[in-house]
Chain A
Amino acid sequence: EPEVTQTPSHQVTQMGQEVILRCVPISNHLYFYWYRQILGQKVEFLVSFYNNEISEKSEIFDDQFSVERPDGSNFTLKIRSTKLEDSAMYFCASSERSANYGYTFGSGTRLTVV
């Protein structure tokens, strides 16, 4: 069964550094998403991407975040200057049709900011 692949599975970075989290969505999917889950808290929506542009973003997704689909297969989340509170699991997801049909999630990247 097709999967959404995320790399790395765990990344440790120093506060203030830039990180790029990578995702390979399912190949025929058109809609892409990033979510995060701070330990012990809810999974939170960050951003959605469709037709090569951001479709929707949450209040969390401020100027330190950006997304890109650089080569038609990868979907990346960049955090420009990481803060301790950015430590979380980051989940990528994709969907073939519009979001109301449900997503396929990746296994996540655990980001630890020290």
Chain B
Amino acid sequence: AQTVTQSQPEMSVQEAETVTLSCTYDTSENNYYLFWYKQPPSRQMILVIRQEAYKQQNATENRFSVNFQKAAKSFSLKISDSQLGDTAMYFCAFMNPPSGGGADGLTFGKGTHLIIQP
């Protein structure tokens, strides 16, 4: 079974700083998908960024980027120029290649509570 580990239960940085959230995972698969989800205090989880394991290029979405190290099974999230609205729980998640129906489940890490201080 796949496991996802987020070793930082909580992080706090000043506004405008850059912060990196770590995530490691364990799998025997060669092709898979990785995600970062953000859960603000309102509780709805929002997809931040996704990475396909067969792509070597790191995914980027505006201020959010990942450092995907396949050999090390590491998938960290970097948030540049952090903003107060970035305060949230951040979950790293793993998915196997889609099976026949394509409706596959995610394996989540325990999350990192990121606090952006003014």
Q: Is the CB of B44 within 8 A of A31?
A: no
Min distance, Cβ B7 to any Cβ of chain A, angstroms: 14
24 A-B pairs, CB-CB below 8 angstroms? A35-B106, A42-B108, A42-B109, A43-B106, A43-B108, A48-B104, A50-B102, A55-B99, A56-B103, A56-B104, A58-B105, A89-B43, A91-B45, A93-B45, A98-B103, A99-B98, A99-B102, A100-B95, A100-B102, A100-B104, A102-B50, A105-B45, A108-B43, A108-B44
Q: Is the CB of B106 within 8 A of A51?
A: no
A32: chain B residues within 8 A (beta carbon): 103
The binding surface of chain A is classed by DSSP as strand
Q: Choose among A41, A89, A97 the residue that contacts B102 (Cβ–Cβ < 8 A).
A: A97
B91: chain A residues within 8 A (beta carbon): 43
A58: chain B residues within 8 A (beta carbon): 105
User: Hey, which bits of chain B sit against chain A, CB under 8 A?
Assistant: 33, 35, 37, 42-47, 50, 52, 91, 95, 97-99, 101-111
Min distance, Cβ B10 to any Cβ of chain A, angstroms: 13
Q: Is the CB of B33 within 8 A of A106?
A: no
Q: Is the CB of B97 within 8 A of A100?
A: yes
- Bound CA span A103–B103, Å: 10
Q: Is the CB of B108 within 8 A of A44?
A: yes
The binding surface of chain B is classed by DSSP as loop
A75: chain B residues within 8 A (beta carbon): none
A95's nearest neighbour on chain B, judged by CB, is B103
Q: Choose among B43, B98, B109, B111 the residue that contacts A100 (Cβ–Cβ < 8 A).
A: B98
The list of the 10 closest CB pairs from A to B, nearest first, reads: A98-B102, A45-B105, A48-B103, A55-B103, A55-B101, A105-B45, A50-B103, A102-B47, A43-B108, A99-B104
